[in-house]
Amino acid sequence: SVTYKVTDLTDDSVVISGEFELKEFSTQKLAPVSIDDGFHFYLIEWELDGQKHYNHYVCGPLKYDLNEYVRLANKANLFNPDGFSVK
């Protein structure tokens, strides 16, 4: 089984989380998520076969504030899983 969580790092709210069974080489529709017109930085985390994985999705008005993007990417530890931050 796969456990997952999607967190909006702009306000630290958990958008969706849960567990499901995943067949090899398949996709799984989990649940609809409402997205408004504001800037959002979603951290997508899942665990499969004892290994943790993550990715992100950014949405909102074009021309994101680069400083805010870097701040949230550092918060999500996306630049380097060993803890290095970009300044």
Here the tokens at position 38 are 């504001």
- Per-residue pLDDT of the chain (87 residues), as tens digits, is 889 999 999 999 999 999 988 888 888 788 787 778 889 999 999 998 888 888 899 998 888 888 888 889 888 888 765 554 445
Per-residue pLDDT at 85: 47
Here the tokens at position 60 are 């909102």
Q: Shortest CA distance to 54 belongs to which of 65, 66, 42, 44?
A: 44
pTM of the shown model = 0.79
Per-residue pLDDT at 66: 86
Distance CA 64, CA 47 (A): 30
For 84, residues 6+ apart whose C-beta sits below 8 A from its C-beta are none
Distance CA 87, CA 12 (A): 21
